[in-house]
């Protein structure tokens, strides 16, 4: 379903589907086994200018937005959620610069990201700071014209492979959200190194690493906005990026559904295709309905982001929560349709099921998203009563 896309968006959809089919599909099983980063696909996407689709034209991009970012992410995720993340995670790292960067910062970094020659990463999570983002302990002390960073970040997507990092740090004397700031840190900065690469259940083609800062000196002009604005930068970034996670989940669900349909039509038991059995038909009907409902919410959220509409946080949280729950449900049911075959690594569905799980966890667990949704609707109700 084209979901009311314009001609340019349909061309982007077809282009990303072709890259996924020609470049990602032949290597997805091997990358899932080895955990290697998908540089071959990254280069193909960069050559096709995919990395610039959401970046304004004045910085070398194509002036699209969240809708285009979601289209690309969904199409790539239909084949491999981990490979798609090399694109989506770079967008997450770029959004703080896009939203809060100075003109000089945008010219310096967004142009590199738009070309695909550099990837970005977003660094918030620490051992003691997950759902509680305000618990960040990585510290940046202003010494002369430089910030001196010390601390460790954990579970950073694109870690070690990205060149540009937006890093949430603690500055000044204030605790909690008022003491957080955001800095742009380049990969080759002295004092910036990488810890272990995590062995993950799913999205194994995506790199996830520790970031280690030991007296890492960053020019003070790499500060985003001003000191004390880091928490706001992170939350506004997530409002913009969560439709991308939802699109990843949507793509995984669609890919799993397509596999289940293909199998059901060609698998015969009791002398007939299992697609003719009512029990299977009901499962497929529910899967298709859930996917289309998720698709509507994902692109509604993306359009709201692009239009600058109100309640972006609520709709983005709804899209992320619903689409990721659908991905987990659909991949589980798709494995059930294939039975024993679906459980085997020789077939793609067990990988899709593993890939789907993380979408319920990162960029805010679905439990946190439900808190965001509930608090927003209760605040809206209280406002309406006044």
Burial zone of 365 (CB within 10 Å; 0-12 exposed, 13-18 middle, 19+ buried)? middle
CATH number at residue 329: 1.20.140.10
Residues 252 and 372 in one domain: yes
Are 249 and 370 contained in the same domain? Answer: yes
CA distance 257 to 253: 6
- If asked whether residues 81 and 186 sit together in one domain, one would say no
pLDDT beneath 70: ranges in the chain: 1-3
- Shared domain for 237 and 381, answered yes or no, is yes
Q: Pick from 356, 100, 334, 94: which is nearest to 245 by CA?
A: 356
pLDDT at 310: 82
Within this chain, do residues 258 and 360 fall inside the same structural domain, yes or no?
A: yes
Q: Is the dihedral of CA 271, 273, 277, 280 positive or negative?
A: positive
Q: Examine residue 1 and state whether it is found in any structural domain, yes or no.
A: no
CB 353 within 8 A of CB 256: yes
Determine whether 196 is exposed, middle or buried from the number of CB atoms within 10 Å of its CB (0-12, 13-18, 19+): exposed
Provide the CATH number for the domain around residue 169: 2.40.110.10
Would 304 be classed as within a structural domain? Answer: yes
Tell me, yes or no, whether 114 and 126 share the same domain.
no
Q: Let me know the angle formed at the C-alpha of 237 by 234 and 243, rounded to the nearest 5 degrees.
A: 135
- Is residue 2 in a domain? no
Residue entry with tokens 């075959």: 341
Q: Which residues are catalytic?
A: 363
In a domain, 350, yes or no: yes
Does one domain contain both 240 and 304? yes
| Residue 344, token pair as written in the block | 């085997």
User: Is residue 348 one of the residues assigned to a domain?
Assistant: yes
Query: Which of residues 228, 251, 273 is at a domain's end?
Result: 228
Q: In this structure, what CATH number is given to the domain that contains residue 42?
A: 1.10.540.10
Structure confidence by residue, pLDDT tens digits, 250-268: 999 999 999 999 999 999 9
- Number of compact structural domains in the chain: 3
For residue 283, tell me if it sits in a domain.
yes
Domain limit, last residue, from 80, 101, 119: 119
Asked whether residue 184 is domain-assigned, the answer is: yes
Verify that 101 and 130 share a domain, yes or no.
no
Q: Are residues 151 and 235 in the same domain?
A: no
The span from the CA of 240 to the CA of 45, in Å, is 22
Q: Are residues 203 and 343 in the same domain?
A: no
Q: What is the pLDDT of residue 1?
A: 55
Q: Is the same domain home to 236 and 372? A: yes
Burial class (CB in 10 A: 0-12, 13-18, 19+), 367: exposed
Maximum C-alpha span of the chain: 79
Compute the distance between CA of residue 251 and CA of residue 258 in angstroms, rounded to an integer. 10
Kindly state whether residues 99 and 237 are assigned to the same domain: no
Domain endpoint, select from 60, 89, 119: 119
User: Is there a domain that residue 153 lies in?
Assistant: yes
Q: Which domain holds residue 204?
A: 121-228
The SS3 of residue 254 is: helix
| C-alpha dist (Å) from residue 197 to 37, 81, 251, 327 | 11, 18, 26, 26
């Amino acid at each position: 379903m084209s979901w009311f896309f314009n001609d340019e968006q349909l061309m982007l959809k077809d282009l990303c589907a072709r890259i996924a089919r020609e470049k990602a599909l032949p290597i997805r099983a091997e990358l899932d086994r080895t955990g290697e980063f998908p540089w071959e696909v990254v280069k193909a996407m960069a050559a096709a200018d995919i990395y610039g689709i959401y970046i304004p034209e004045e910085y070398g991009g194509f002036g699209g937005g969240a809708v285009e970012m979601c289209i690309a992410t969904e199409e790539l995720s239909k084949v491999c959620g981990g490979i798609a993340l090399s694109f989506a995670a770079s967008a997450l790292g770029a959004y703080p610069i896009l939203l809060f960067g100075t003109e000089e910062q945008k010219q310096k970094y967004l142009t590199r990201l738009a070309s695909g020659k550099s990837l970005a990463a977003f660094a918030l999570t620490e051992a003691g700071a997950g759902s509680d983002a305000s618990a960040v302990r990585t510290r940046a002390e202003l010494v002369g014209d430089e910030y001196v960073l010390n601390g460790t970040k954990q579970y950073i997507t694109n870690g070690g492979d990205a060149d540009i990092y937006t890093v949430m740090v603690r500055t000044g004397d204030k605790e909690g959200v008022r003491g957080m700031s955001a800095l742009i840190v380049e990969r080759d900065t002295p004092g910036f190194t990488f810890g272990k690469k995590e062995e993950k259940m799913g999205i194994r083609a995506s790199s996830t690493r520790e970031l280690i800062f030991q007296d890492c000196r960053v020019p003070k002009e790499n500060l985003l906005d001003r000191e004390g604005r880091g928490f706001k930068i992170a939350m506004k970034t997530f409002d913009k990026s969560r439709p991308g996670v939802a699109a990843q989940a949507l793509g995984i669900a669609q890919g799993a559904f397509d596999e289940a349909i293909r199998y059901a039509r060609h698998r015969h038991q009791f002398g007939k295709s299992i697609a003719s059995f009512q029990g299977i038909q009901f499962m497929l009907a529910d899967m298709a309905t859930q996917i289309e409902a998720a698709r509507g919410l994902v692109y509604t959220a993306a359009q709201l982001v692009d239009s600058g509409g109100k309640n972006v946080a609520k709709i983005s949280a709804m899209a992320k929560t619903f689409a990721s729950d659908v991905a987990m449900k659909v991949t589980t049911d798709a494995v059930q349709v294939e039975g024993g075959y679906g459980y085997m690594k020789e077939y793609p569905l067990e990988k899709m099921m593993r890939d789907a799980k993380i979408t319920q966890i990162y960029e805010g667990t679905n439990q946190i998203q439900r808190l965001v949704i509930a608090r927003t609707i209760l605040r809206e109700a209280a406002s309406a009563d006044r």
